[in-house]
Structure 1
């Protein structure tokens, strides 16, 4: 997943749907169990990103992977990294980041949306 963030500005200029296309390619044919198993990879990438727009993309992708996993089970790594993710969003995120994180929490039945 980290490869999609290399030279992303140039790629996005050429294709405004660059990230969506990448997500579609990464998730093509992904079973629910494979999606669940891939959650740690997404979390690892998310925690390395320090640019707000890319953080937002990683949060969106985490939501996509959870949708494909089709479960409200909290991945053990997500539990372990919960506070780190929250802190990372506080440091590098914006309002969209907070909303995306809240939406993931809602999807996992850990929070209510306003």
Structure 2
């Protein structure tokens, strides 16, 4: 999942100029056959990418994707890594100046 997200972010601005649904289409492709357990297991990869991206737009898109994957996971359980990294995620968002 991590590699797929990074690949999706390459030339994202050009892709978005050509297709306003670029991210939505990519997310759909990434999650099409994802079971709830696979979705839950993918959460750490998404968190890793979230903490590594430096563009506020990509942070927002990654957060949206994390929400999508959580919906597919269909659980109220907070992933242990999300609980562990919550403060770092908030600090990362704050550093980039995004609400």
Bin for the TM-score computed over the shorter chain: over 0.9
Q: Distance in 1 between matches of 2:97 and 2:32?
A: 28
2:23 paired with 1:19: yes
* Greater helix proportion: 2
Residue 49 of structure 2 corresponds to 45
Higher relative contact order (CA 8 A, sep 6+): 2
Q: Distance in 2 between matches of 1:15 and 1:76?
A: 35
Give 5+ residue unaligned stretches, structure 1. Answer: 96-114
Tell me the TM-score normalised to structure 2 length.
Answer: 0.92
What RMSD in Å do the two structures reach over aligned CA positions?
Answer: 0.8
Give 5+ residue unaligned stretches, structure 2. Answer: none
Q: Counterparts in 2 of 1:75-90, with a 5 A limit? A: 75-90=79-94
Q: Is the Cα–Cα contact under 8 Å of residues 55 and 93 in structure 1 kept in the other structure?
A: no
Residue 102 of structure 1 corresponds to none
Q: Distance in 1 between matches of 2:30 and 2:15?
A: 16
* Ranges of 4+ aligned residues in structure 1 off by more than 3 Å: none
